[in-house]
Structure 1
């Protein structure tokens, strides 16, 4: 899968944004005006716009050169700090200018509900001096890239002159240019290899309806005639449609997922497409992989990236049912990507042989204590050592498949030891959940979680529900001398 790909260098030129999030809770209305009062709990800032595209491309394994314009302000320092630790993103061609204001979008949220967004943008146009510096930086970045992304957020950085310089340099070097467009006139992107409008952008640019497949085809053909390259239309829950320059039309269905936030999803798509092109993949393959990446990122709150491990796991699960779980090493990488975006990790574990209402209640309760739930399953060998030679009734693949199908479960990990201690040590969850039939001192790994600043939760159990009791009932109903059939046979 993705481990077989060798990614190249991607030059990203566009509008640099800082996405800020103010998290809190609302439990009353202000007496001064009919507005909610937010009790502020947390503030975070992550790269947005072209900077988020860069983070996504780097997360997949590309070397990235980022070009854009920032002010001499606190937001520019915060943006630099948010990216600086990534050695695979070159920031040397970002242009600072005291006459510019670093663009910020501040979202205020109560839980997962966005209450208001506050934007801070430049109140002046880009000066000729700024433009000249950008053109010079863009030419240098394109001259050593394998693929170029123009991330256009319509904030003024991708002017006609800057776009012309990018297209000319790319043409001379034979480097493909991928554009995430915001202009209504797609002819401004003439010379690009691919543009990736969403449905509403396609409608605005062509003036045509885009309600169904037939209308999408007509509008996409109209868009193609205006700039001459390939067109990939992102259609939210309906997937993506690709029209290539040879007239071939291909549609990719999106993987079903729960949508928490679509902000930045277009960044993930364009970064994934360009990354696949840099690895030598064709557009159709790139589109299919990008649909999986989009499905993952919309399940995250706020501007986010998709790691190589997450995408690999998703692609594997679409190919084979026995790949719905992650190895411990892959889980570490996936969880780290979640944690970088502020996710609180919850962990629970068990054999979960013959899933029953008690198990479901525990999983549902555990999921309430954080943003991502990881379930660790005892391997078949581990279950036999703990429960005896007749167990498990279902092998680890079947148990992982059933567990992974529960909507509250985000990741399933199998461990071979008798206890999950080493798995907890590796994954470092923020919350450890076990049933209330334990005391906190009896919970394996509680010391690790508490020492890392986390907490242990004892969830109420559904009385009278256990796999052992179910097996006992089956045995009592089995005639003497008969063998108890494998439950999977019926």
Structure 2
């Protein structure tokens, strides 16, 4: 499990980006031109590029030093502020240059649909004197690093001179270097331990097809010939393929997930790989864990990170096949990560002993109220106190497994008290859902949710459906 690893210190050098998102809705076409008119609702910014790698590594628990170039402009100030929110990231080694324009990508979205992207980029190359400052900053930070990541977005920071200086210094100190490449000539990365190209980047660098496992194998061999290290190929829904210098090739299949946005997924992969290397994990283990991290992040809208708690829950789910089940402490970490990305958290609870259409209707109704649904289950002891010694008919693990397998359910938590009051107080959901057989003032935890501006929703019930009535019928029969 991910909690068994102690992550170390990661030095990340590369192109620093600011990702901006303008959200709104479109319901008409402009009379001036055949283009949609967006009614602007909100504007948000998050660190992108090498900054997103840093945010992902820090979210997993690494201590991060970030080296890169920013301008002396408003976007640089905004980027620094966003990065400063993550205490594990050191900004002491950033280089600023008055002639540089901080790279900014602005995406305009209606719902989850991207309408257009607007890029602000410098029109000049990085000056030699600035390259020297970048090298000095990297070498200054290098001595405290367990692993180095070169995040190359082909924006100019990772020039030949900078790459050569960083990789040579790392090799002298025995520090592994991981590169997320963008170059067509991979020989620029000679001396790195690992590169992590996607299929398009691998094909572009080698001139070879990459459609099948066999084609991936030959293309990865060609890549190895160029730079001499291990190759980890990210293959979207087909997972990842690792070709080591020893000749061993390993595949990792990505867990099934709903894909909303692949922005920054490669950043999550390289950050997870680096974190695992810093914890002295082998590359096969690192690859498997990175595939799970990638499957989580593509389910989020926009540039995003994966927390240690989220990854732990996903790995636990895969290993135990018990659905998305977490302890209360784990759930708090997962919910905190969801909130960082603007998710509205919905909560409902019950014994859910024999799952029936009434339960399904409640779950579906609750899921429609927000973005993430938590279901809290009474423990076996709690059910016995409420329903009698003959209940539950299914133990808590069985009930949690069934509940966690439902598509609408994002997280399952088991509570041992008679009511979920303490669980609600700990998780602080935005919406609390119960069946319409309650009145609003009868809903346990409703006062807590309302105290911070949340709301209580009473869902319509399916008449004549309950576990108790099913049990009675079974006994009568």
TM superposition score normalised by structure 2:
0.97
Residue matched to 1:393: 393
1:326 maps onto 2:326 in alignment: yes
Q: Please say if residues 313 and 323 of structure 1, whose CA atoms lie closer than 8 Å, have aligned partners that are also in contact.
A: no
SS of equivalent residue, structure 2 residue 258: coil
Question: Pairwise CA RMSD of aligned residues?
Answer: 1.3
Instruction: Rate the CA distance shift 1:39–1:472 in 2: closer, same or farther, 3 A.
Output: farther
Deviation at 1:211, TM superposition (A): 0.7
Q: What's 2:338 paired with?
A: 338
Q: Verify the 8 A CA contact 2:49 2:153 in the aligned structure 1.
A: yes
Alpha-carbon separation, structure 2, partners of 1:279 and 1:435: 47
Q: How does 1:283-432 map to 2 (within 5 A)?
A: 283-322=283-322, 324-432=324-432
For residues 229-240 of structure 1, what are the structure 2 equivalents within 5 Å?
229-240=229-240
Match of 2:273 in 1: 273
Q: Which residue of 1 aligns with 2:132?
A: 132
Q: Counterpart of 1:447?
A: 447
Q: Judging changes above 3 Å, is the alpha-carbon distance between structure 1 residues 161 and 377 closer, same or farther for their aligned structure 2 residues?
A: same
Q: CA shift at 1:323, angstroms?
A: 6.8
- Show the counterpart of 1:487: none
Q: Does the CA-based 8 Å contact 2:93-2:141 persist in structure 1?
A: yes
Deviation at 1:350, TM superposition (A): 1.2
Contact 2:103 2:119 in 1 (8 A): yes
Q: 1-side partners of 2:323 and 2:455: how far apart?
A: 30
1:206 aligns with 2:206: yes
Aligned to 1:7: 7
CA contact (8 A) 1:195 1:229 kept: yes
- Normalised by the length of structure 1, the TM-score is 0.95
In the TM superposition, residue 88 of structure 1 has moved relative to its aligned partner by: 1.2
Structure 2, unmatched stretches of 5+, are: none
Residue 29 of structure 1 and its aligned partner are, at CA, apart by 2.6
- How many residue pairs align between the two structures? 477
Contact preservation (8 Å) 1:138, 1:165: no
Could you say if the C-alpha distance between residues 34 and 388 of structure 1 is closer, same or farther in structure 2, counting changes exceeding 3 Å? farther
Partner Cα distance (2:33, 2:431) in 1: 38
State the match for 2:159 in structure 1. 159
| 2:20 match: secondary structure | strand
Report what 1:471 is aligned to: 471
SS in 1 for 2:183: coil
Measure, in 1, the Cα distance between the counterparts of 2:121 and 2:458: 48
Q: Check 1:30–1:356 CA distance in 2 against 1; reply closer, same or farther (3 A cut).
A: farther
> Following the alignment from structure 1 to structure 2, what is the Cα–Cα distance between the partners of residues 110 and 468?
45
Partner SS, residue 104 of structure 1: strand
CA apart distance, 1:26: 2.3
Question: Is the 1:352–1:359 Cα contact (8 Å) retained in structure 2?
Answer: yes
Q: Where does residue 46 of structure 2 map in the other structure?
A: 46
Q: Which residue of 2 aligns with 1:485?
A: none
Structure 1 equivalent of residue 117 of structure 2 = 117
Distance 2:77 2:398 in 1: 49
C-alpha distance in 1 between matches for 2:109 and 2:138:
36
For the residues of structure 2 that align with 1:39 and 1:362, how far apart are their CA atoms?
A: 33
Post-superposition CA distance 1:151-189 (Å, at most 9, x none): 011111111111011111101111110000011111111
